[in-house]
Chains A and B, each alone.
Chain A
Amino acid sequence: MPKILVVDDAMFMRAMLKKLLTEAGFDIAGEAETGRVAVDLYQELKPDLVMMDITMPEMDGLTALKEIVKLDPAAKVVMCTALGQERSVMEAMNAGAKDYILKPFNAEKVVEVLKNASG
């Protein structure tokens, strides 16, 4: 099963995602609450997938995405963002994100997008 790095500054979102992903059969490689920590953990844990929030302190998700793709052009990063932030989503897709999920999300959609991105 793919190992996922869950990145979100909100403890609530990390908890929801970990529960949902574990139930869907994914392994949680680790979690990060800032973009900076996400980049460090990406190198350390080498996850199969990254679920990346956009608005975070220290380093936002777009910057972290770009750094991860620079380190590993084959990185599979799925953005997770507030509904309506199409502009950020477009920038992320151009920067190498595989797909995106809009919050508030539904569980089936998250699992479907991640399964496609990991394949």
Chain B
Amino acid sequence: MKAEFINPFVTAGLKVLESVISARPESGQLAVRSAAFTTQQVSIVIGVTGAVEGQAIYGMSLVTATKIAAAMSSMPAMAFDEMASSAIGELGNMISGHATTLLSEAGYECQITPPTLVRGTEVEIATSTPALVIPLYTDFGKMEINVALMETGEKTATSPPRDTEKQEASDA
């Protein structure tokens, strides 16, 4: 897959995490992962359809997921219960929603499916292309963004890119 497809997810991930946990995360090194197995205890899987198709997977430890969910709920602490799972799913939805808007602005009009939460490592996620992976380091621990997207050949006319997009494309 093209490296340019992961940049919108990194931009969106940094922005949404900063807003929900009130601290700017740092992005790490880009890596390629051929087999799509979950490597983290909690993974949010979101499908992307349209001019690019595939999945965005957000992986993190249970501790990180629980801390983020608590921050989203304005609670000092919480158990990783149904409410916390729902909060983490919504985090994936917010990041992906923003990322697909950036992709649409770059001419790849696409939509997202509602999030699915996967618990446990070594769970196979069927993807048709190797994933690009970038870790984001937050005060609550690491979140790994995995993006496996393929072009479907329905590229639309490009609308002018926004400043934020240009900026992140060079960082990532």
Spell out A's residues near B (CB within 8 Å).
Answer: 9-13, 15-16, 54-57, 81-87, 103-104
Interface residues of B in 1-57 (CB under 8 A from A): 12, 15-16, 19-20
Inter-chain CB contacts under 8 Å: number = 64
- For the complex, what is the distance from the CA of A103 to the CA of B16, rounded to whole Å? 9
Spell out B's residues near A (CB within 8 Å).
Answer: 12, 15-16, 19-20, 69, 72-73, 82-84, 86-87, 89-90, 93-98, 100-102, 104, 111-114
A-B contact pairs, 13 of them (CB 8 A): A10-B86, A12-B73, A12-B87, A12-B90, A16-B73, A54-B97, A55-B97, A82-B94, A83-B19, A84-B12, A84-B97, A86-B101, A104-B94
Q: Which of B20, B89, B101, B112 contacts A104 (CB 8 A)?
A: B20
> Whose C-beta in chain B lies nearest to the C-beta of A8?
B90
Q: Which of B87, B104, B112 contacts A55 (CB 8 A)?
A: B112
Are A11 and B16 within 8 A (Cβ)?
no
Are A82 and B114 within 8 A (Cβ)?
no
- For the complex, what is the distance from the CA of A84 to the CA of B96, rounded to whole Å? 10
Q: Which of A15, A83, A85, A87 contacts B16 (CB 8 A)?
A: A83
